[in-house]
Amino acid sequence: MPSPEGPHVHHGTSRRTLLTASAALAAAAAAGGVIARSATAEEPEAELRKLISRMSLEEKVGQLFVMWVHGHSAATPDKADMDTNVQKIGVRNAAELVAKYHVGGIVYSRWARNIRDPHQVAELSNGIQRAGLAKSNPVPVLISVDQEHGKVARIGKPATLMPGAMALGAGASTADAREAARISGLELAAMGIKQNYAPVADVSVDPANSALGVRSFGADPKAVGSLVAAQVEGYRLGGVAATPKHFPGHGGTALDSHLGLPRITYTARQWEELDAPPFRAAIDAGAESIMTAHIVVPALDGRETPATLSQPMITGILRERLGFDGVVVTDAINMVSVREKYGEDGAAVLALKAGCDQLLGPASLEVSWNGVLNAVRRGEISEQRIDESILRILRLKSRLGLFSHPYVSREGVDRVVGKAAHLAAADRIAERTTTLLTNEGRLLPLNPAARPDVLVVGADPDAPSGTGGPPTAVLANALTGLRFRARALSTGTDPTRGQIDAAVARARGKDAVIVAAYNVTGPQRTLVAELAATGVPVIVVAMNNPNDIAGLRGQRASLATYSWTDVELRAAAKVIAGAVRPRGALPVPVKRPDNPAQMLYPIGHSLKY
């Protein structure tokens, strides 16, 4: 039976041929209608192979690419978005992108102005599918997004925003991780998004890894593996393909691969112990796609080729040793870590030769598309090798129901996205993740019955998509709702002397001061120290990396929320007020900033009251 909450992912064998189905889809696409078929969605392998046999080489090459395209509409985006598209990809809109290059996938992003509200996202998805199914050889498009939750969430309110990976790691509940992914999957699928580039399967080996940080579930490979597997299962229940990333594991380097080519220096045995377990768990849980990393691991490939382009790592390890036969999608090949050395066309060709299937986001689609096309024509890559990747991609589209149910509806969005039960589940899950790290003199919880007068100060980083405002204001509002007298004063990530003085002046006479800390800087340390010197109790809320606690002195209590989205800050407010008890435990160690060899708080540290 189809789930009343969202789209049903069918399994089994279709009684109709794919040719008949494609013709029906094309006819409905031309009419702008919604497909309704009595046959199941998963097409027999023979029918998928027939579809491939009818494709031209140009269509086959197009199926390998996943692209960004600017605009909120598939056919009529704003003029500025049209102009950007013409400049960057030589077409005006998503419909023309599909028609010209036959791309097999499109990935949504807020910076590409794809996301305004759920109804608009759903209609954009429908417009893209109409373009894919209006071609002479119709094929639905696989639409993807980076919706990790926590600090990386492309789609915000009114969609349900869940705690991020490290918060779920602190909660240590596979049931919660599965439920968070299931709900997220249901909402994404209702908007026509059937592949999510999540969860992050990287283990937090190096705490200085700025590109990873709280996007990881934690530092224990086994625990990370359990949560990754749970989320793979949850997304499948929601009708979406999870995409664990970034194989073979990005956690052991401090360098961001957007900025350079990171290098992992540990041994093959260390890789087996540290990075392999989450990917093994993901595959065992039935992961249908996996994303690669642009990192060099000499112990796994002595040629020091980036993993995305490495045949020993992608084919030799991921496919042959780990047994993964799903879709391998590259990390964006426009990133400097591969583009500068190998070129737009070279990176795409090498990724396919390595064993990848989907080529994500080249800076120049024309150059990369022609590079692959010419590589096949000159025999550098066989057409049979291309067909192998297309078959994997079509299998995935088939299993996700895109051949039978390519369209979504406003009614489906209204029924599923941001429903009250989902929002309540997000709050319950978040309440099990907040971690109490210090609590001198049992300061917490503060008694709401006494109507505490508190000042909330600190950093207000750019909020993740769709939050309720600056974090200090969200915290103050949440406390006000819990019978506190709370006011917010933003002092920024690098408070000036004047901002520090103003905060100190406002703090005098208060019952407590709450400092929202984020990527702690010298001025933030000064702020906390001078607030503590007033004698007013200081409570620090570490809104990003819990290691920020190690750089501060003078606070009486400290908590970790692992992100600054509303759901996590509301949970922190409840812990401060005693409305819920702190239940989270550190999923990563906290070390001294001046001596990383010295542990302040180990994995599993938590305080209760």
DSSP state letter for 600: E
Among candidate residues 155, 231, 234, 138, the one with its CA nearest the CA of residue 192: 155
> Per the residue annotation, which of 258, 325, 414, 453 is the catalytic one?
258
> Per the residue annotation, which of 331, 345, 548, 566 is the catalytic one?
331
Phi-psi region of 218 (alpha: psi -120 to 50; beta: other; left: phi over 0): left
Give dist(CA 379, CA 382) in Å, integer: 6
Per the CB < 8 A criterion, the answer to whether 290 and 318 are in contact is: yes
User: In degrees rounded to 5, what are phi and psi of residue 252?
Assistant: -95, 20
CA 29 to chain centre: 31
- The total of other beta-carbon atoms located within 10 Å of residue 39's CB is 17
Q: Which residues contact 270 (CB under 8 A, 6 or more apart)?
A: 299
Q: Which residues contact 606 (CB under 8 A, 6 or more apart)?
A: 435, 436, 437, 582, 583, 584, 585, 586
Residue 10 is a catalytic residue? no
153: helix, strand or coil: strand
DSSP state letter for 349: H
Q: Which residues contact 38 (CB under 8 A, 6 or more apart)?
A: none
Residue 331 is a catalytic residue? yes
Give dist(CA 240, CA 401) in Å, integer: 10
Per the CB < 8 A criterion, the answer to whether 512 and 536 are in contact is: yes
Q: How far is CA 439 from CA 165, 540, 606, in A?
A: 25, 10, 10
Residues serving a catalytic function are 258, 331
